[in-house]
Amino acid sequence: MDFSEIGKAIRAARKAKGLSQELAGSPLRMSRATISGIENGTVSEVGIRKVMALCDQLNLELVVRPREQKLLSWDEQLAENERLKLATLNATRTSAQRD
């Protein structure tokens, strides 16, 4: 998820609550321009605490989770398996040489 997707979710929640940008921002001491920038993904910088406070006010939740891994094709999986085998073999050889 990128910042523009977060902004779209914030805009949708704000509109669903019937709030203007000014009304959504005023309790948080955020200007209408800041709210607009967040919603459009054009604000140059905004602190995570501000975004979290805005989400909280709109009954949204920011969730951080690992990215979904892309599924590998058969050939990619075979190449990855071979790479892992070689890495394991090299690590074993290096360990044996130290002993």
What pLDDT, in 10s, does the model give residues 9-39? 999 999 999 999 999 999 999 999 999 999 9
Question: Residue 91: is its pLDDT beyond 90?
Answer: no
Structural domain total, the chain: 2
User: Could you tell me if residue 62 is inside a domain?
Assistant: no
- Do 13 and 44 reside in the same domain of the chain? yes
Rounded to two decimals, the pTM is 0.65
Q: Are 8 and 50 contained in the same domain?
A: yes
Tell which wins on pLDDT, 58 or 45: 58
Q: How many CA atoms lie within 13 A of 46 on its CB side?
A: 25
Four-residue CA torsion sign, 72, 75, 78, 83: negative
Sole residue written with tokens 């990128």: 2
How much is the average pLDDT of 65-87? 86
The confidence score (pLDDT) of residue 6 equals: 93
| Structural domain range at position 93 | 68-99
Give φ, ψ of 60 to 5 degrees.
Answer: -110, 160
Residues 75, 52 share a domain: no
